[in-house]
A and B are shown apart, each in its own frame.
Chain A
Amino acid sequence: MSSIQSEVRDFVADNFLFGEDPESLNNNDSFLETGIIDSTGVLELVAFIEEKYSVEVDDDELVPENLDSIDQLINFIESKLKELA
C-alpha cells in the first residue's frame, strides 16, 4: 500500500467508520452511496488534505469526482502534489 493510501484509509477509518470494520471499505466504494460521509464530512476531508499535504483545495474542486472514494482521494491528492512539484 502506498503511504498516501494508508494515510487516507486510516483517516477515513478513524473519523467516519467508527463502528464499522475498516476492512469492509473498498478503495472504490462511494462515500455518499455507503452513507459514511455527511456534509460536514466533506469539509473534514478537505481540512485533512490541506493540513496533511500542505495543499490548497479550491471551492470548485469540492466535488464528488475528487473526494468520493479512497481511490478518488488518492488521485486528487497526487494531482495536487504534482501541481506543487
Chain B
Amino acid sequence: MCGIAGIIQSDRHPVNQAELQSMIDTLNHRGPDASGVTTRGSVGFAHSRLSIVDLAGGVQPMQSADGMLSITFNGEIYNHIELRAQLTSKGYQFQTHSDTEVILYMYAEYGPECVQQFNGQWAFAIHDQRQKQVFLSRDRMGIRPLVYTQTPSRFIFASEIKALFTLPDVERKTDLTALNQLFTFWSPLPPRTFFDNVLELPPAHSMIVKNGQLKIWQYWNLDYSPNEENRSLDDWADELRALLINATQLRLRADVPVGAYLSGGLDSSVTAAIIRNYTNAPLNTFSVVFNDQEYDESRYQQEMIQELGTEHQAVCCSYEDIGRVFPKMIQHTEKPVLRTAPAPMYLLSQLVHDNQFKVVMTGEGADEILGGYDLFKETKIRRFWSRQPDSKIRPLLLKRLYPYMKNLQAQSPAYLKAFFNIRPEELNNPFFSHLPRWELTSKLKTFFSDDVKQQLVNHNPLSEFSDQLPEQFSQWPSFCQAQYLETVNLMPGYILSSQGDRMAMGNSVEGRFPFLDYRVVEFAARIPIRFKMNGLNEKYLLKYAMRDLIPESIRKRPKQPYRAPEAHSFIDTKKQKARFEYVNQQLSPDKLKESGLFNPTAVQRLVKKIAEGRAIGTRDNMALVGILSTQLLVEQMINKQPVAAGNNDPGLAALLA
C-alpha cells in the first residue's frame, strides 16, 4: 500500500522534480518506508512506499526492462502469482517478485483491458512511451483512491487531494454542487470531490491521458439480472464458503504479518474465523471498545476471541478521544462527514501500527453484497406495508427493525405511520429504498447560508444521481436496487474511503477486504433475494454457510450498526460547553461568515440546543458533525491553517450569549 502522484505536462515542458517531490511528501503517511521520483520529459511519477510484497525488489516508480513502460502503483494484485505464471509462459522475464512488475507486463501484453484479469485493489498510472500516453485505472469497488485535476498546462493526479494542492496552479475552492450532494448522500457523486475542479476517477473506471485529452470509461459493472432460482440453499452456501475461504487466503499473500479487525459483528468474525481455520497464519486481532455502553460491543468481541484463541489488542475510545482526533481525521478524509464513526477507526489503525502491523483484514462489504443493512429490511417492510396502507400492524414491524433506537420505540402507531408514510408516487421511484435516509439528511441544508441556498436553488441531487444509473437498473428487483445504491454510493464514498482507506492509511495501515473480492461480489449479485434476506433475517446465506465456524451468539445477535458518539464528543452537556477550543472557533459567527457556507444564527441555535442537552436526535447530531467537519476542512485545506485539538476550554458562553 502506498501513495502515488504524477504530473503530465500537456504543454510538453519537462516535469519539475521538486514539484513531484513536494507532492509525494504530503503522502508520507501512506508509504513511510521509501519514496521515489522519476521523470521522463513531460511525464513524471512519484511514489511513497509501504513495503508489503517483495520488500527488497518492489521499489517504485518501476520501469519495464526495455524502459518503455513505467508505473506508479498503490494497492495489491492478489492473483499476481498466477498472472506471473501466465506471462512467463508467454516468454516474459521478471526482475522482481513484486505484483507491480506483473501489472507492467500485463499491460504490455493485454493493454488497458489487462485490468479485467486483476483480482485486487488498485490505483495506478502507467506511462507508455510507445503510445505516448498515460493509462490510469482504479479497482472495481473503489477501495484505493485516485484523484486528479487539470490546469491549462497540465494533468495532475495523486492518491489524495492534499498532494494536488501543493502545486501553485491548483486552485482551492469548494464545489457547492458536491456540498449539496454530500448533504444528501453523505458523499459527493463521483467524479466530484468536495473541491471544485478536483475529480476522482470513479470505481471500476480506467482512463487514458493523451495529447492533453482524457478518455474515461467503465471497465466493469455490477449486474443483478441473472438470478438463478433453481439451486438449493446448500449449493449456494457451499460456493459462497469456498469463495470466501479462497478470497481470504489470497489476501494473506504478504511478506509481512497480517492482522484482523474484530468488531463483534458477524462479518469480521467470519474473516477472522476463516484465517484461524483455513490458513496457517498467526491470528492477531484488533478492536475498538467504547466507554459509552450504548456503542460498545466488547462482549461479542470477547466471545470471538475466546472461540478463536487470538492474540488480541483493543483501544478504548472516549468522547474526548473522538473530539481530539477529529481535526486530524478530517485532514485525512478530505471531505466533510456526517458521522464521527471514522474517528475510532483512526484510533484503531494507530493501535495496529503501534503493534508493528501494516496489513489488516476486515469484514467490510458483506452488508452491501450479502444484504445486511437495516435499510434493506426497512425497504422490505415499507413495500409490504404499502400493499395495505391502512394496516395498523404492519408499521409496527419498523419498531422491531430498530430495537436500538429508543426514540423510535416510544412512538405511537399514528406517528410511526406519519414518519414512514409512503406517498403513492414513491412506489415507482428508483430511489424508494433510500428516500427516507436522503430526505432526513437533506434536512441539514436548513443550516446552509442564504447565499449557498440561493446558488443551489435549481440543483437537484436526486436527478443528478438518477442520470448515473445504469440502463438495467429499472429491471432489477427492489431489493437489488437498494443493494446497488449502497454499493456504488455509500460504500466507496464513505465506508471504504472516509471510514476505510483514509483512516487506515492515516496510520500507514492497509485494509484488505475478502468480501470485496470481485468473484464474491459477482457471485453475491446472483444469489436469490430470499437467501440474502430470509424474512427479516439478514445475511441469511452467510450465517448458514458459516454456521459451524461462528458461535450461535454471534449469528443470532441483533445486528448493531457500527456507530460512535456524535455531538457529545464535541460539546459536554454536563458542563454545557465545548470540549475543545477549535469547536468554539470553527462554529463562531466570524468563522462561519468567513467560509460563507452556513448560517451563523442557525448554527448558534443548534449549539445551544446541544449544550443544554436537548439534542437527542439523529438530525441534530448529524448537523453538528457535518457543519464542524466542513468548517475544519475549509480551514485546513482551503485557508491552509492548521487546527489542533487544544485544551478543553470555556468560551462556549460567548456562543450562547
Contact = CB atoms under 8 A, between A and B. Distances in A.
Contact of B447 (A15, A18, A39, A60): A18
B657 interface: no
A38 B412 contact: no
Interface string B613-640: 0101111100100000000000000000
Interface string B189-231: 0000000000000000000000000000000000000000000
A64 B3 CA distance: 55
A40 B609 contact: no
A18 B614 contact: no
Contacts of A14: 605, 608-609
A71 interface: no
B418 interface: yes
A38 B616 contact: no
Contacts of B18: none
B53 interface: no
Interface stretch (B33-41, B80-88, B403-411): B403-411
B412 A59 contact: yes
A19 B602 contact: yes
Given A41-B617, A63-B414, A19 B447 contact: yes
B448 interface: yes
Nearest to B420: A39
A47 B614 CA distance: 9
Given A14-B608, A18-B605, A19-B599, A39 B614 contact: no
B616 A39 contact: no
Interface in A50-80: 59-60, 62-64
Contacts of A20: 446
A43 interface: yes
A64 B443 contact: no
B446 A39 contact: no
Given A40-B619, A44-B614, A44-B617, A18 B407 contact: no
Given A18-B602, A18-B606, A39 B411 contact: yes
A24 B553 CA distance: 52
A51 B317 CA distance: 34
Contacts of B616: 40, 43-44
Contacts of B407: 39-40, 43
Contacts of A64: 414-415, 418
B423 to A, nearest CB: 11
Nearest to B416: A39
A60 to B, nearest CB: 7
B61 to A, nearest CB: 49
Interface in A17-36: 17-20, 32, 35
A42 interface: yes
Nearest to B617: A40
Nearest to A31: B418
B interface majority secondary structure: helix
A38 B619 contact: yes
Interface size class of A (residues with CB under 8 A): 20 to 34
B295 interface: no
A38 B440 CA distance: 8
A35 B227 CA distance: 39
B446 A60 contact: no
Most A C-beta atoms less than 10 A away, residue of B418, B440, B609: B418
B617 A15 contact: no
B177 to A, nearest CB: 20
B617 A38 contact: yes
A83 B599 CA distance: 42
B419 A38 contact: yes
B417 to A, nearest CB: 9
Contacts of B617: 38-41, 44
Nearest to B411: A39
B606 A63 contact: no
Most A C-beta atoms less than 10 A away, residue of B412, B415, B620: B415
Contact of A39 (B415, B599, B602, B606): B415
Contacts of B614: 15, 44, 47
A19 B616 CA distance: 19
B656 to A, nearest CB: 12
A38 B411 contact: no
A43 B440 CA distance: 17
Contact of A19 (B415, B448, B608, B609): B448
A60 B605 CA distance: 31
A69 to B, nearest CB: 13
Nearest to B453: A19
Interface string B136-180: 000000000000000000000000000000000000000000000
A35 B443 contact: yes
A15 B602 CA distance: 10
B605 A32 contact: no
A43 B414 contact: no
Contacts of B601: 19
Contacts of A42: 411, 415
Given A14-B609, A38-B619, A43 B418 contact: no
Contacts of B620: 40
Contact of B411 (A19, A44, A60, A62): A62
8 contacts: A17-B446, A38-B440, A38-B617, A39-B617, A40-B619, A60-B412, A62-B412, A64-B418
Nearest 4 CB-CB pairings of A with B: A40-B617, A19-B602, A19-B446, A18-B602
Given A19-B599, A41-B617, A62-B411, 8 more contacts: A13-B605, A14-B605, A15-B605, A20-B446, A38-B419, A39-B617, A63-B412, A64-B418
Interface of B: 407-408, 410-412, 414-415, 418-419, 439-440, 443, 446-448, 599, 601-602, 605-606, 608-609, 614, 616-620, 623
